[in-house]
Amino acid sequence: MRKEKIFRYIQKRLRLLGYKLTYMTLLLFYAYQNPETPRWAKNIVLGALGYLLNPFDCIADITPVIGYTDDIGVLTFALVSISTYISDEAIINARRQLNRWWGDLDMESVHSVENIF
């Protein structure tokens, strides 16, 4: 699957989820892309992103704020679990993509996510 196609799908799905959740997802995506990330860490990323993008979870996600707490929890767990493999390059790439999708970076939100790991 091409990167642009994946990004279009993720962007469409994440537009509703918010800035921080988008950044967390991008960090995980770019950590997964890193060839130095071990298979066990990639499996955690796949599980977290699969949970986030699971269409059967969308019913619970209709509830504002509360519906996404489980998604945020899963992504936070994944970020903490693989934090060693979130490289500077992954952070730069995630910030660039976030800037393309959302415009000027909200550095307060960016740093609050980065403080997780």
Confidence label for 89 from pLDDT (cuts 50, 70 and 90): very high
Whole-angstrom Cα distance, residue 114 to residue 11? 20
pLDDT digits (tens, 9 = 90+) for 26-52: 999 999 999 999 999 999 999 999 988
pLDDT for 4: 82
Domain ranges of the chain: 3-114
Global pTM reads 0.81
- Is residue 13 scored above 90 in pLDDT? no
The whole-number pLDDT of residue 14 equals: 56
Per-residue model confidence (pLDDT) at position 111: 94
